[in-house]
Amino acid sequence: MTNKHSVLIIGGGVAGLQATLDLARVGFNVYLVEVKPRIGGHASLLHRTFPTLENGEELTKKLFQNVIKHSNAKILPYSEIEKVEGSIGDFKVKVLKKARYVDEEKCTACGECEKVCPVTVPKDYEMGIGFRKAAYLPSPHPVPPKHLIDPQHCLYFKDGSCHACRDVCPENAVVFEQKTEEEILDVDVIIVATGFKPYDVTKESQYKHGAYRNVITGIEYERLCNPNGPTGGKIVRIDNKEKPSSVGYILCVGSRDEQNHGYCCRVGCINALKHAYLLKKQYGSEVEAYICYIDMRTIGKKAEKFYRNIRESGVNFIHGEPSEIRELPDGSLTIDVYDQATSKLLSITTDLIVLEAELEPEVDLQEKLKIPLNDDGFFKEVHPQLAANETPIQGIFLAGAVQEPMNIAEALVRASAAATRAFISIQ
Ligand SMILES: Cc1cc2nc3c(=O)[nH]c(=O)nc-3n(C[C@H](O)[C@H](O)[C@H](O)COP(=O)(O)OP(=O)(O)OC[C@H]3O[C@@H](n4cnc5c(N)ncnc54)[C@H](O)[C@@H]3O)c2cc1C
Ligand code: SF4
Ligand code: SF4
């Protein structure tokens, strides 16, 4: 790459992709480093996104396709930031490109390796009902569309007892000898777009996630609704994979509670509305939906209309925080909740309960970047209004949900704002 200025974007979710696109378009050399083997972040796991119900996978794919058109952008998937030194105008960043054990240039994603692989591993967020092989594609339509081998579970790395994928690969793309590669990037500025990680809902022991099979999180429910998910898009009870007769949604799990996180996750309420909408779309009046909320916070374009439509669609709204979840002998679940709207204590039995959980910032690079954290654990900005994208370290900027919880539209706008600040800072 030969242009004058260069930037490192850390995190390949929608925010990182948008910042990459903006700065590549104005002639920066852009390096986009993503720790996972697939680009797109959380938005690429979502089949339907509020408020327009657009397909999240398609949306991230469009962004990615625009990015790869630019010769100024270099994408480094499955790579880790090892060390950051220097200052604005002269950062030196050591990046480790992890071994995929598959030659990316040669792999055509034909899937032959996957077919013969004898090892099966549960997939992330798929509730122990979705599986992948040790030779696998990181998602059904990943970008980039390349396979990789998981050395933690692969038998070749365990005891040398298998090399079936190497034998079958028509492109000779399987390379067990591949090593982690090191690259030093010289960049003028850095944009951190590492997004969020889901709150560990087992901390809310009253809700029994992990103990009761039919208690799942919002992200897990997204996988149930997704035609590429473990049930082909059917919303079912997890234990018997049958149609539920009712589903409960509990809001603010881990949020707005001084003992955990005092802040609002900002997407949980509207997400629960979307989740109930998708349930009703699938089963209509055959299935009851109960949303237990503290306050209904639906902010943003078209959000109020979306809320009103769902309210009128037969979904039950209960203004209260439920007690603990109790499991009945047949695996269904009971909660007691005092409904402030009707002043009644209700006892509700459902087949599936969805915990709409807090979003925590992904700040694992804090020590390497030396950016202080604020009271809520997010990277500290210079000023919450006047310089929300700037960190106290000159030349390091923030974009997307790593700043605070936000939806996709906001993450895209914040990314463009970060790109603008980064651009101006070195003119
Ligand atoms: C259950 C659920 C449903 C949602 N539904 C909707 C919806 O319908 N509509 C909507 O608008 N919003 C929705 N959201 C919010 C949406 O997911 C976020 O707005 C969006 O993902 C934010 O994008 P981001 O790029 O900032 O962060 P992320 O999507 O979190 O992406 C961050 C990226 O950075 C990478 N990364 C992390 N650490 C590192 C590191 N150290 N080095 C390199 N890379 C790193 C991650 O792997 C990831 O790819 C939902 C959220 C949840 C939890
Ligand atoms: S068999 Fe070879 S070319 Fe086909 S997906 Fe596997 S590694 Fe890629
Ligand atoms: S060598 Fe590993 S990845 Fe390849 S088929 Fe065997 S177990 Fe699967």
What residues contact residue 66 under an 8 Å CB cut-off, 6+ apart? Answer: 21
Query: Is 134 a domain residue?
Result: yes
| Spatial distance between the Cα atoms of 76 and 81, rounded to a whole number of angstroms | 11
Indicate whether 85 belongs to any domain: yes
How many domains would you assign to the chain?
A: 3
CA nearest ligand 3 atom 3, residue: 135
85 and 116 housed in the same domain? no
For residue 2, is pLDDT > 60? no
* Domain boundaries, position 380: 6-97+180-195+362-425
Q: Is residue 142 within 6 Å of ligand 1 at its C-beta?
A: no
Q: 50-86: buried (b, 16+ CB within 10 Å) or exposed (e) per residue?
A: bbeeebbbebbbebbebbeebebbbbbbbbbbeebee
Cis peptide before 144 (omega within 30 of 0): yes
**pLDDT tens-digit series, residues 365-420:** 999 999 999 988 899 999 988 999 999 999 999 999 999 899 999 999 999 999 99
Specify if 210 maps to a domain: yes
Do the beta carbons of residue 256 and residue 263 sit within 8 Å? yes
- DSSP, collapsed to helix, strand or coil, labels residue 266 as coil
Distance 191 CA to ligand 3 centre (A): 37
Q: Phi and psi of 275, rounded to 5°?
A: -65, -40
Task: Quote the percentage of the chain above a pLDDT of 90.
Answer: 81
Same structural domain, 354 and 217:
yes
pLDDT surpassing 60 at residue 298: yes
Atom of ligand 2 nearest to the CA of 137: 5
**Which residue, by CA, sits nearest to atom 30 of ligand 1?**
195
356, 252 in Cβ contact below 8 A?
A: yes
Residue type at 349 in one-letter notation: T
Where is pLDDT greater, at 190 or 312?
Answer: 190
Q: What 3 state SS string does 27-75 have?
A: CCEEEEECCCCCCCCHHHHCCCECCCCECHHHHHHHHHHHHHCCCCEEE
Judge whether 44 lies within some domain: yes
Distances in whole angstroms, Cα of residue 181 to Cα of each of 84, 102, 146, 154, 361:
17, 14, 18, 21, 28
Residue 174 lies in a domain: no
Which CATH number goes with the domain that contains 69?
Answer: 3.50.50.60
CA 417 vs CA 5, 191, 336, 422: distances in Å: 18, 11, 45, 9
* Residue 1 pLDDT level (bands cut at 50, 70, 90): very low
Nearest C-alpha neighbor of 422 from the set 13, 76, 29: 29
pLDDT tens-digit readout, 233-278: 999 999 999 999 999 999 989 887 777 787 877 888 899 999 999 9
Residue 13 — pLDDT band, cuts 50, 70, 90? Answer: very high
Same domain, 326 and 286: yes
Give the count of beta carbons closer than 10 Å to the beta carbon of residue 401: 31
For ligand 3, residues with CB inside 6 Å are: 116-119, 134-135, 149, 154-156, 162-165
Q: Which helix H or strand E contains 252, and what residues bound it?
A: strand 246-253
Question: Strands 73-76, 29-33: parallel, antiparallel or unpaired by DSSP?
Answer: parallel
Locate 381 and state its tokens.
């900005």
Q: What is the pLDDT of residue 268?
A: 84
* Same domain flag for 333 and 238: yes
- Pairing relationship of beta strands 396-398 and 189-192 according to DSSP bridges: parallel
Q: Could you tell which of 121, 131, 156 is best to mutate to test the pocket of ligand 3, judged by most ligand atoms within 8 Å of the CB?
A: 156
Q: pLDDT above 70 covers what percent of the chain? A: 99
Q: What does the DSSP 8-state code read for residue 204?
A: S
C-alpha 123 to ligand 2 mean position (Å): 20
339-362 pLDDT, tens digit per residue, is 999 999 999 999 999 999 988 999
Q: Is residue 221 part of a domain?
A: yes
Same structural domain, 162 and 293:
no
- Asked if the structure places residue 23 within a domain, the reply is yes
Q: Same domain, yes or no, for 391 and 324? A: no
Mean pLDDT, the chain, whole residue set: 94
265 and 403 co-located in one domain:
no
Token readout for 406 is 């936000």
Q: What is the pLDDT of residue 141?
A: 77
Shared domain for 63 and 184, answered yes or no, is yes
Are 208 and 342 within one domain?
A: yes
Residue among 115, 148, 154 whose CB has most ligand 3 atoms within 8 A, to mutate: 154
Question: Which pLDDT tens digit goes with each residue over 50-80?
Answer: 888 999 999 999 999 999 889 999 999 999 9
DSSP 88-142: TTEEEEEEEE---SB-TTT-----HHHHH---EEEPTTSTTT-EEESEE-SSSS-
Does the pLDDT value for residue 289 go beyond 80? yes
pLDDT band at 323 (very low <50, low <70, confident <90, very high): confident
Minimum-distance ligand 3 atom for the alpha carbon of 135: 3
Query: Are residues 78 and 48 part of one domain?
Result: yes
123 and 219 housed in the same domain: no
Looking at the fold, whether 185 and 38 belong to one and the same domain comes out as yes
Cis omega (within 30 of 0) for bond into 51: yes
pLDDT attached to residue 30: 97
375 occurs within a structural domain:
yes
- Whole-prediction pTM value? 0.95
Question: DSSP string covering 210-238, please?
Answer: TTBTTEEEHHHHHHHH-TTSTTTT----T
